[in-house]
Amino acid sequence: MAVITDPIADFITRLRNASAVRKSVLDMPYSRLKLEMAKILQSDGWISSVEKVDDGFGHLRITLKYDEHGAPALSHLARVSKPGQRVYASRRDLPRVKNDLGMAIISTSQGLMTNHDARRRRLGGEVLCEIA
C-alpha cells in the first residue's frame, strides 16, 4: 500500500478522476479532514451525499452529482496550498473563484469553511482548494 503524503491532493484527484469518467459512487480512505471537506461540498450542492462506511478500515463513500445532460457538477477542482508552498489569505484577501460563482475551502482557526463563510465571519486562513 502506498503512503499518501498529501491527502488533500489525493482527495481532489480522486473526485476529479471519478467525475471525468462519470462514476456515480466513489470510495476513498477515511480521514476527518476529507470528511469535513466532503460535507462542505455536499452542503453547497457540489456532490449528492457523503457517508463514513465502517468496514474495519473505514472509508468515505461519496455520491457524485451530475446535471440532466450528464455533465458533472464539479467541473474545476484545484489544489491551491501545497505542502511545499503554503498559501494563506487574510480576511481582506480571500479568493473569489469564478467571480464568486465557485468557492474555495479555507482552513481557519474556527475550522474548515468556504471563502464566503470566512468572509462573512471576517476570518483568514490557509486556502486549501478551489471548486467551480
Query: Does residue 29 sit within a domain?
Result: yes
> Averaged over 40-54, what is the pLDDT?
97
The pTM of the full predicted model, rounded to 2 decimals, is: 0.93
The enclosing H or E element of 112 equals: strand 111-114
Any bridge partners for residue 107, and if so which?
Answer: 112, 126
Is-contact 51 106, C-beta < 8 A?
no
Residue 83 domain boundaries: 77-131
Question: What is the pLDDT, as a whole number, of residue 65?
Answer: 96
Q: CATH number, domain at 58?
A: 3.30.1370.30
Q: Answer yes or no: do 47 and 86 share one domain.
A: no
* 80-113 residue pLDDT tens: 999 999 999 999 999 999 999 999 999 999 999 9
